[in-house]
Copies of this chain bind each other. A is one copy, B any other.
């Protein structure tokens, strides 16, 4: 009582022809009589035949599957994954998603497993712990194409897709300056992350560009969370020389910041302005609606998928380094 799904062989036997002819007929290859082709197609249809893609993969050495490795399921990644999925499905690829939970160890294991599952390529956003890139070099050695996105590493030789963080930060801070704010603080992300560094650099550039000398006291480190947004804001507001504006590394940090400020009687944006970075769907729903730098997450995912698929189909395409521009969304928090 074996649960055999129907194969090319069944069709061949039933029609009294060989499996190779059936195979040819089904894939619209030449060298098959139109009549036999019709008969094969008819039978295949009526039997609801579906080729076993495992077997196809074994011979073609292509799985039409790509591995996606993210460090968490933050809003940004959900959006980005949505973009990847939409692009890949239209090109007949499927995505396999894994979460490293910010662990370098897990990241290594997961990538290894995905390779053993013979994915055709990988789209990776590095974990917060990742400082060593040997596991990525291994991919290069095995000639498995991969693209880094969002959390990238500068000195890894591969294609990358991310947002122009420096430019986004510059725009945000510049906007604050134009609005008349002068004492602008920055709640930065984990300092070892490239995107944190870049956003901070944009912040510094904007200040210096306006002739304002940044102070170290005005830069404080968060971990992206709402809670740390609250904490950092508290510290900032206990400074002798209080800021009149805060540029936050992420929307969530900004939520925390606004939350603390309101609770402690500050009026936004009159007494103090807050600007975020991400452009979450909800940023417009909080009170006051958040002025923020919108990252096109969906587009980042889609682009990453596009770059990868190109490199899968054509292995010797050169690497690209795509930085997608952000857009400033002006609302009422600044």
Could you mark each residue 29-67 of chain A with 1 if its beta carbon is under 8 Å from any beta carbon of chain B, else 0? 000000000000000000010111111011000010100
CA distance A69 to B114 in the complex (A): 21
CA distance A286 to B79 in the complex (A): 21
CB neighbours of A79 from chain B (8 A): 73
- Return 5 A-B CB contacts under 8 Å, by A number: A50-B115, A73-B81, A75-B75, A82-B99, A287-B287
- Nearest B residue to A101 by beta-carbon distance? B86
Name the interface residues of A233-277: CB closer than 8 Å to any CB of B. Answer: 255, 259
**Residue of A63, A94, A112 ringed by the most chain B CB atoms within 10 A:** A94
Cβ-defined contact, B52 with A118, below 8 A: yes
CA distance A48 to B3 in the complex (A): 36
Cβ-defined contact, B50 with A116, below 8 A: yes
Say yes or no for A133: interface residue by CB 8 A criterion: no
Cβ-defined contact, A143 with B3, below 8 A: yes
- Nearest B residue to A62 by beta-carbon distance? B54
- Starting from the known contacts A55-B58, A73-B78, A255-B282, 13 additional A-B residue pairs (CB-CB under 8 Å) come to A50-B115, A65-B96, A65-B117, A73-B82, A85-B99, A89-B99, A94-B96, A94-B113, A94-B114, A97-B97, A255-B285, A282-B285, A286-B286
Which residues of A line the B interface, CB within 8 A?
3, 5, 48, 50-55, 57-58, 63, 65, 73, 75, 78-79, 81-82, 85-86, 89, 94-99, 110, 112-118, 138, 142-143, 226, 255, 259, 282, 285-287
Cβ-defined contact, A112 with B54, below 8 A: no
Q: How far is the CB of A279 from chain B (nearest CB, A)?
A: 14
Q: How far is the CB of A111 from chain B (nearest CB, A)?
A: 11
